[in-house]
């Protein structure tokens, strides 16, 4: 195993620091983001510390950390595990990033949250391409850079981020189906179905957060909270699918 293939921590943290630097320079200060508690259906709780002002929406971010820990690969430093470890690190770091956004209600924290969402989806595309064509590090780098660059759409249009995210989701779905045709079986089809349902919930429940609050079920545990539950679950099903396909790929080449 070459040393350059065994640096997931440096790769993920390096990418995170680059994103933080870009945001800190104010390059995306013109992007529209929703900041302020009025944009959330969950009411703030008087007397709670500011980092727990909306307890449900804040504490759900612990689930990303637990998910990353759960899916942390064993000590075998194979290329298969490299992709899993990078994805686990992304989950571990994404939870605190969202928490900081809720805590500070700062525009740049919201921009960083949006910016980091895109390369996470792009990593699924990268992992799928690895399963299909093998180790192509420069191709993978180009995909991640293109993913981050697509955030420029948010500067050009108020719904630019949503457009970029939609494009990522469509490409992910396409690549997942290609991997399914090559390595999948009936069990993996159901994983795709469940993951797709969670992806729909992730998008729709967040969009309809305030509208859903009129119903008692969503009055405290709001649409935004359940959107994050769906997000964690789609993360989980993605891990489940891609690790299963990785095993099938290994067995097919033996």
CATH number of the domain that residue 219 is part of: 1.20.1070
In a domain, 109, yes or no: yes
Question: Would you state the pLDDT for residue 207?
Answer: 94
Tens of pLDDT, residue by residue over 104-124, are: 999 999 999 999 999 999 999
For the chain, the distance separating the N- and C-terminal CA atoms, rounded to the nearest angstrom, is 19
In a domain, 193, yes or no: yes
In a domain, 176, yes or no: yes
Question: Would you state the pLDDT for residue 6?
Answer: 59
In a domain, 47, yes or no: no
Whether pTM exceeds 0.75 = yes
Instruction: For residue 158, give every residue at least 6 positions away whose Cβ sits within 8 Å of its Cβ, in sequence order, or none.
Output: 32
The HSE-up count of residue 86 (CA atoms within 13 Å, CB side) is: 27
Instruction: For residue 240, give every residue at least 6 positions away whose Cβ sits within 8 Å of its Cβ, in sequence order, or none.
Output: 191
Domain count, the chain: 1
Tens of pLDDT, residue by residue over 54-104, are: 999 999 999 999 999 999 998 777 788 999 999 999 999 999 999 999 999
In a domain, 171, yes or no: yes
Burial-class residue 193 by CB neighbours within 10 Å (0-12, 13-18, 19+).
Answer: exposed
* pLDDT one digit per residue (tens) for the chain, 254 residues: 344 455 899 999 999 999 999 999 999 999 999 999 999 999 999 999 999 999 999 999 999 999 999 999 987 777 889 999 999 999 999 999 999 999 999 999 999 999 999 999 999 999 999 999 999 999 999 999 999 999 999 999 999 999 999 999 999 999 999 999 999 999 999 999 999 999 999 999 999 999 999 999 998 899 999 999 999 999 999 999 999 999 988 887 65
**Domain around 168:** 6-28+54-253
The token pair that represents 109 in the structure block: 């924290």
Question: Would you state the pLDDT for residue 254?
Answer: 58
In a domain, 42, yes or no: no
Tokens 């992730």, residue located: 202
In a domain, 33, yes or no: no
In a domain, 78, yes or no: yes
């Amino acid at each position: 195993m070459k040393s350059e293939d065994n640096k997931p921590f440096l790769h993920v943290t390096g990418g995170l620091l680059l994103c933080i630097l870009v945001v800190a320079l104010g390059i995306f200060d013109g992007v529209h983001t929703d900041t302020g508690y009025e944009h959330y259906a969950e009411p703030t709780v008087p007397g709670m510390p500011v980092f727990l002002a909306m307890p449900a929406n804040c504490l759900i971010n612990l689930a990303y950390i637990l998910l990353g820990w759960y899916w942390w690969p064993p000590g075998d430093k194979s290329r298969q595990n490299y992709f899993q470890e990078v994805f686990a690190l992304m989950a571990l770091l994404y939870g605190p990033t969202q928490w900081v956004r809720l805590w500070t209600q700062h525009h740049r924290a919201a921009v960083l949250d949006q910016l980091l969402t895109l390369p996470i989806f792009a990593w699924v595309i990268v992992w799928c391409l690895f399963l299909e064509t093998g180790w192509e590090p420069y191709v993978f780098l180009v995909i991640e850079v293109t993913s981050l660059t697509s955030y420029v759409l948010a500067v050009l249009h108020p719904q630019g981020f949503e457009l970029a995210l939609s494009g990522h989701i469509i490409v992910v779905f396409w690549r997942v189906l290609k991997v399914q045709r090559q390595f999948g079986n009936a069990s993996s089809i159901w994983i795709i179905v469940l993951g797709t349902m969670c992806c729909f919930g992730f998008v729709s429940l967040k969009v309809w957060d305030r509208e859903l609050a009129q119903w008692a079920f969503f009055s405290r545990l709001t649409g935004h909270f359940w959107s994050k539950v769906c997000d964690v679950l789609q993360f989980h099903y993605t891990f489940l699918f891609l690790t299963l396909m990785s095993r099938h790929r290994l067995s097919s080449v033996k």
